Structure 1
Amino acid sequence: MMLFSRRRIWLLIFAAILFFFYRSFQSLNSAGPVPPIPASFRWSSFKFHHPVTSMHQLPTGKPLALPRVQNTFGTESASQRTLRLTRQKAVKDAFQRCWNSYRDRAWMSDELTPVTGEHVNTFGGWGATLVDSLDTLWIMGLRAEFDEAVAAASNISFEISSLPESTTREINVFETNIRYLGGFLAAYDLSNDDRLLKKAIEVGNMLYVAFDTPNRMPITRWKPHAAARGKKQLADEHVLLAEIGSFSLEFIRLSLLTGDPKWYDAVQRIMDLLQKQQQKSKLPGMWPVVVNARAKDFTQHKDYTLGAMADSLYEYLPKTYALAGGLLPMYKDMYKASMETAIRYNLFRPMLPDEKDVLISGMVILNTDRGETVAQIRPEGQHLVCFAGGMLALGGRLIQNQTHVEKGEKLTDGCVWAYQAMPFGIMPETFYMLPCESAEHCPWDESKWRQGVARIAGLDSNKAAPAKIEALIARKRLPKGFTHIPDTRYILRPEAIESVFILYRITGRPDLLESAWAMWEAIDSNTRTELANSALGDVTLTEGKPEKSDSMESFWLGETLKYFYLIFSEPGLISLDEYVFNTEAHPLKRLLP
């Protein structure tokens, strides 16, 4: 028998070691062979790695008689009714036009591209526009279309074995929750069609698996195929506040409808932590935009806002209090504490050429100066944060705090002002303004405004030549009052009309109807395509028309058109004393005494 030399033996050993490490590396990092998911797979029978051993139970007792939210409206005249119905019909016609184009060209896909007439899947490929539009169809009285849509939606499968990984490799749990779960729940609450509750349970069972982590904090950007194959999960260290804190309306409503407390339990674990840490953050009362779900630490980041990345957490606090009929007072307490801080630090009065007394909500950034923490306002307005006016008005009514209602009015008026000030009558996605030195007295000072424009552009406002500043204003197309517009798009957002609608229902101010109609005419005339309506690239143009970007997110039919329709409806349709809207404008029934 031939013997191996010592050198050859060592080479073989070395090769074996290399092979071992290669296979180990391959198993950890490659997309090699993976176990198949059985065709019979169901999220409802998922085997959890970290099952709940002590479940929070749903609150019991008779719901409280919470304060009335809606204004008491008088009888409208014949001419007022005719005008209102004419405007309502214009919105409904626009919806039907968009819906028919979606039905003809993008049926069962997530979105229609409104210029080219193609279809795209951006939210799992589960028919986001279809599901988002169910309750709008019902509210607008389009029963035949609703019945057809429910039949189609009933055939959507959220069981992972039937879905291509190309559209569901990673899903945004927050977006899936507010669009799909919220959409099915609202359509069920309106119609009592059991098929819709069945689909809501199916989505709820899927989303519940994202909470299967050692500390029961959810994975917000979740890989469902990996979970279905049994891969263990860890919550992330960097999570957006809105994406971890905006489950309460949908999950609690699902638990109330089914009697199964598991979704309530999942939410309660998050909210308990938020409440315990609310006064321990760097800006006590609020939570930063980025939190550590793995360490269960919601205090460390330095940026605080009511806007993007945090918005719907704050929105859900008063709404969940109302949804649960006052049986969860922690939500009321958290809302009051957070708004006390936000009103003090985040809201500012901008200096305007007409000196109108309005408010804008900005970002607070905490910095350290000589060992002291200093809160600095970044005066950036956002179309998205326009929801805050309606939130404060609603929350103020629910907890009987008139200051909140007044702040909500001024925030909403600020968004209306921003619409009216732009060339096409449409607010851009983001913009900067110059905060007033005093909220009580704020005269227009054009030289200060010009200095503000120069400063934010990185110029020395004391040395820059007036002609250079003037050229900067012209080049950036800045209406007076705006110091910078970094994002000039309009993406068919609903937040401004959302607050106008809520504030109208709460106060009955007739001028809000005229503001809503002006907004509608500006939006529809500039976004309309041959098929539907499209997002716009630049609403600051002073010549020509803004370019259409061939995008129509599902919230156009699910939110924006719904709010425009409802403000021109009779006030009893989806009363705020009977429903709360989730952040995707899906109305969920409140518990009432």
Structure 2
Amino acid sequence: MIVSRRSYMLPTIILICLTYILFSSLPPGAETPYGHHHHDHHHSDEQQHQDHRVRWHKHAEQYPIYDYIPLPSAPSSPIPRVQYKFPKESWFAKWGRTKRQRAVKKAFKHAWKGYKENAWLRDELSPLSGGHRETFAGWAATLVDSLDTLVIMGLTDEFEEALEAIEQIDFTTTDAIQINVFETNIRYLGGLLGAYDLTHGKYPILLQKATEIADMIYACFDTRNRMPQSRWEWTRSAGGLSIEPSRNTILAEIGSLNLEFTRMSQLTKDPKYFDAIQRITDFLEETQPKTKVPGMWPMMVNARDLELFDPRFTIGGMADSTYEYLPKEHMLLGGQTNQYRRMYDSFMKAMKSRLLFRPMTEDGRDILFAGNVHAGSGKTTLEPQWEHLKCFLGGTVGVGSKVFNRPEELSIARKLVDGCVWAYDVMPTGIMPEILHLAVCPDAENCTLPKNSHSEDPDTYAESIAQGKKLPPGVVDIPDPKYLLRPEAIESVFIMYRITGDKTLQDDAWRMFQNIERMTRTAYGHAAIADVRDPASPLMDYMESFWLAETLKYFYLTFSEPDLVNLDEYVL
């Protein structure tokens, strides 16, 4: 998503492309995901039972707000320069760069064509069968989520055709029993606001539809303590019944609503959206020093009783975007409050001291990863696990080092980015898996694996040999070998390139793109990979909206001219 700040003192735009998608199982007691999967791509049944569906109607609030928290009104603080000052490009360099950029655009057009011809106005294309899936309330998630990419790539005809299509989307009803508010927020509200800001308000339909969806999901905050019901029982609200937040709420689902809701208040001048998310922010700041890992929040939050007892702490899935949004919201608000600076400072202290580790590699490479912490029974244990979802961290720390004037942390950001590139390069397919476990360096002087040794647990190694899928040196285990077309790694490569100007990062990105394109391309689009350890891996019949909305966008921007989504005008 891209959110414009041109009407504010600092002329920036927020580009929000979450990296966080839940594919792991929820813990016991968590609310169950919703969604219906359909593989018939014919649209003749679209009007069936329309008159009998429950529709959203606004009712008087059960717990109304009479005094909204307003947007901050203090003078804006200057945001330090983020982007590297690029010199003039040579003819030869431009030729090579644009050749790569055209290849990315060609991949996007191929997948967009498959979506348009086989899954138009559906949530997702099924890229192997040519069918479709309804995974996010059935409101054309891929179409809406990809609007800003269409603008960035200059696909004007496709964009205007998509604008005509979104007029048909009825945000007042869905077959889903529950609405995942987080996913709805980032894919729909984010997609609409991003396109609206990129086109400088030229298309009012975008803000109109954004307001429709924002007003609907705003009702999930109508609870006793104004914490949202993240898996919203929307039919209860539509019927005027009360709802409760869950005692098992995923941290990222409660802590990652602020950018879009803040932007809604900025654009519409309606304070209710900002009020809703500011109450969450105040709760998070108040509890931040009181958790079992002070400075961080656990994976699960008891939003009903406002308690934080879960002993699991991570910057990965179920938590990631809560931390990612700290510098972003600071920028969106023009530095008018130091709240997010304080929260980021506390987070970085905890993350650096408790989660960061250097892995053992064959060449003793100086790279970093962030593991997980279990803080139960008075003992804190580090799990050296890394996820593709965690690859957002390098870009976030890089941006934070600039906007919060923490130059000493830029080297940490670069080592995190290089770690993700390494995780791509060591795999037989050249693609990083969903989850891997690494061997931790015993100390700073002992970080190189002995020659002809295997860091794996003997039993795990024997099993991998039996499967014909040897683990790369330094990798202890790969519990989830899939690649789901995720954007987090290339997002951070792009940000680090724009911050440092280091063109070797463009070479890294090109290598990543070529491997992904080679492994995932199908007749209808691009498909997720079942096992990145296997160069002949079978594919899986789904293509999430973030492939077009984020992954290919970041590849394209990595090979664009520096002023396209300039980091001093845009914030990722």
RMSD of the alignment, in Å?
1.8
> Highest CA radius of gyration, 1 or 2?
1
Q: Which residues of structure 1 form unaligned runs of 5+?
A: 1-35, 458-468, 582-593
| 2:190 maps to amino acid | G
Distance 1:111 1:38 in 2: 25
Hey, what does 2:458 align to over in structure 1?
Answer: 454
Q: Does 1:477 align with 2:470?
A: yes
Distance 1:470 1:314 in 2: 38
Hey, what does 2:14 align to over in structure 1?
Answer: none
Q: Which protein has greater RCO, CA pairs closer than 8 Å, 6+ apart?
A: 2
Cα distance change on mapping 1:132 and 1:440 into 2, 3 Å: farther
Cα distance change on mapping 1:347 and 1:474 into 2, 3 Å: farther
* CA-to-aligned-CA distance 1:142-191 (integer Å, 9 cap, x gap): 1111011011112211113xx3x3xx211111000011011000000011
Q: Which aligned pairs between 1:47-86 and structure 2 lie closer than 5 A?
A: 47-86=60-99
| Residue among 537, 548, 552 paired with 1:546 | 537
| 1:435 maps to amino acid | V
Q: Does 1:524 align with 2:517?
A: yes
| Residue among 542, 561, 568 paired with 2:559 | 568
Distance 2:94 2:128 in 1: 35
**Contact 1:350 1:434 (8 Å CA) reproduced:** yes
Q: CA deviation at 1:473?
A: 4.7
| 2:169 maps to amino acid | I
Q: 3-state DSSP class of the match of 1:484?
A: strand
Distance 1:548 1:322 in 2: 40
Q: Does 1:171 align with 2:179?
A: yes
| Residue among 479, 494, 501 paired with 1:486 | 479
Hey, what does 2:218 align to over in structure 1?
Answer: 208
Q: Does 1:124 align with 2:137?
A: yes
Hey, what does 2:392 align to over in structure 1?
Answer: 387
Distance 1:256 1:123 in 2: 26
Distance 1:41 1:281 in 2: 41
Q: Does 1:318 align with 2:327?
A: yes
Hey, what does 1:223 align to over in structure 2?
Answer: 233
Q: Which aligned pairs between 1:295-334 and structure 2 lie closer than 5 A?
A: 295-297=305-307, 299-334=308-343
Q: Does 1:513 align with 2:506?
A: yes
**Contact 1:37 1:228 (8 Å CA) reproduced:** no
| 2:262 maps to amino acid | I
| Residue among 172, 184, 196 paired with 1:188 | 196
Cα distance change on mapping 1:440 and 1:409 into 2, 3 Å: farther
| Residue among 350, 354, 357 paired with 2:359 | 350
Hey, what does 2:41 align to over in structure 1?
Answer: none
Q: CA deviation at 1:445?
A: 2.8
User: What TM-score results when the alignment is normalised by the length of structure 1?
Assistant: 0.85
Q: 3-state DSSP class of the match of 1:49?
A: coil
| 2:499 maps to amino acid | I
Q: CA deviation at 1:481?
A: 1.1
Q: Does 1:233 align with 2:224?
A: no
Q: Which aligned pairs between 1:23-172 and structure 2 lie closer than 5 A?
A: 43=57, 45-160=58-173, 163=174, 165=175, 168-172=176-180
Distance 1:235 1:37 in 2: 30
| 2:278 maps to amino acid | Q
- How many residue pairs get aligned? The number is 520
**Contact 2:355 2:382 (8 Å CA) reproduced:** yes
Q: CA deviation at 1:340?
A: 1.0
Hey, what does 2:372 align to over in structure 1?
Answer: 363
Distance 2:86 2:510 in 1: 19
Q: Which residues of structure 2 form unaligned runs of 5+?
A: 1-49
User: What TM-score results when the alignment is normalised by the length of structure 2?
Assistant: 0.88
Distance 1:236 1:94 in 2: 41
Cα distance change on mapping 1:471 and 1:47 into 2, 3 Å: closer
Q: CA deviation at 1:440?
A: 5.4
Q: CA deviation at 1:447?
A: 7.9
| 2:458 maps to amino acid | A
Distance 1:572 1:47 in 2: 47
Distance 1:374 1:449 in 2: 29
Q: CA deviation at 1:53?
A: 2.2
Q: CA deviation at 1:404?
A: 2.2
Q: 3-state DSSP class of the match of 2:373?
A: strand
* CA-to-aligned-CA distance 1:483-502 (integer Å, 9 cap, x gap): 10000100100100000001
| 1:288 maps to amino acid | P
* CA-to-aligned-CA distance 1:416-473 (integer Å, 9 cap, x gap): 00100000100011000111112455232358744x4237x4xxxxxxxxxxx55655
Hey, what does 1:417 align to over in structure 2?
Answer: 422
Q: Counting helix residues as a fraction of each chain, which structure ranks higher?
A: 1
Q: 3-state DSSP class of the match of 2:221?
A: coil
Distance 1:207 1:56 in 2: 19
Q: CA deviation at 1:42?
A: 5.7
Q: Which runs of 4+ in 1 moved over 3 A?
A: 36-43, 446-450, 469-476
**Contact 1:427 1:539 (8 Å CA) reproduced:** yes
* CA-to-aligned-CA distance 1:528-587 (integer Å, 9 cap, x gap): 01111100101112xx51111011000000000000000000111111212223xxxxxx
Q: CA deviation at 1:108?
A: 0.2
Distance 1:552 1:41 in 2: 29
Q: 3-state DSSP class of the match of 1:278?
A: helix
Q: Which aligned pairs between 1:247-262 and structure 2 lie closer than 5 A?
A: 247-262=257-272
Q: CA deviation at 1:226?
A: 2.1
Q: Percent identity?
A: 47
Q: CA deviation at 1:40?
A: 11
